[in-house]
Amino acid sequence: MKIVQKALAFVGLLSLCALFIYALQDAPTDENFEKKLINDYNVYALQVPDNLDFAGEPLPLNSPDILERMDRELLVNTYWQSNGLLMFKRSKKYFPIIEPILKKHNIPDDFKYLAVIESGLTNAVSPAGARGVWQIMPATARENGLEVNDNVDERYHLEKATEVACKYLLKSKEELGSWTLAAAAYNAGNAGVSRRLREQNVSNYYDLLLGEETGRYLFRIVALKEILSNPAIYGFNFRDKDLYSTVPSYKVEVDTAVTDFSKFAQEFNINYKILKLHNPWLRQPHLNNRSRKLYHIEIPKKGYYQ
């Protein structure tokens, strides 16, 4: 019995020694750290596709300048993996809302990627005062029929904001002559783009010398289009169930004041938070509605929230 115990103790001691030696060998020392880093983590250069276009208008990738600018945006957006994966998830939820509105106005489907770079498909707030998925300024919103006040801000209403974005883009296309310039004008304004075209005596976006933001703008859109259209090529792997989806809902008509939206929500077996998630354009916990305007408030169907 003692012999067996001694043998087991010896085996245990050998095992501990082996683990200790392995741990020392595997620990990130100065000598092996660089080798482990090289073996365990790699970043690869990307092949810029030979043919890329925005709204059917090709990029002149034969120009070294254009090729480098396109390469930059593909690299930045491919290797910002967490953000890229979120764009895949959100696009499954919001593109089905945006796409039919673009189609209704005969605007190329590629413009949905403009919304991606404007806001990341969130209700973003810019320091300049732009709001919502389409980052619409207050004056532009009001000029195009959106209500913007302390109670209601329809820039946060995705369908209505998309309609306004379409109006702006159609006007820009008519004034500037191409969808590429119309997209640039969404960032820099029609007047700003027109002035630069005139000053530099050129007729297209890719020949313009622009500031950093507008100069990268189209390339960022095209990069997101390319990546979101070809996830496997750029290393993004997910299942359909990993993506976000819309919660089925219905609309309730309201043409009076609402003194307390938390109580209003309870009438439909939801809470104020859920009501706001579905109606971010309602900016206060109450609605004045002195003009008795008709609003359509979205209510999620039963069974989707606990």
Q: Is 92 found in the same domain as 21? A: no
Q: Could you list the pLDDT tens digit for every one of the 306 residues in the chain?
A: 545 455 445 445 555 555 444 444 555 566 676 666 667 678 889 999 999 999 999 999 999 999 999 999 999 999 999 999 999 999 999 999 999 999 999 999 999 999 999 999 999 999 999 999 999 999 999 999 999 999 999 999 999 999 999 999 999 999 999 999 999 999 999 999 999 999 999 999 999 999 999 999 999 999 999 999 999 999 999 999 999 999 999 999 999 999 999 999 999 999 999 999 999 999 999 999 999 999 999 999 998 886
Q: Which two tokens stand for residue 295?
A: 């609003």
Q: Is the domain of 259 the same as that of 167?
A: no
Query: Which pair of tokens denotes residue 244?
Result: 């976000």
Domain boundaries, position 269: 249-300
User: Does 45 reside within a domain?
Assistant: no
Count: domains in the chain: 3
96 falls within a domain: yes
Same-domain pairing of 176 and 65 = yes
User: Are residues 62 and 200 located together in one domain of the fold?
Assistant: yes
At CB < 8 A and 24+ separation, what contacts does 172-180 make?
177/203, 178/57, 178/204, 178/205, 179/54, 179/55, 179/56, 179/57, 179/108, 179/110, 179/111, 180/54, 180/55, 180/57, 180/204, 180/205, 180/206, 180/218
Residues 107 and 182 in one domain: yes
Kindly state whether residues 32 and 140 are assigned to the same domain. Answer: no
Same structural domain, 235 and 150: yes
- Does 232 map to a domain? yes
Looking at the fold, whether 19 and 151 belong to one and the same domain comes out as no
Q: What is the CATH number of the domain that holds 126?
A: 1.10.530.10
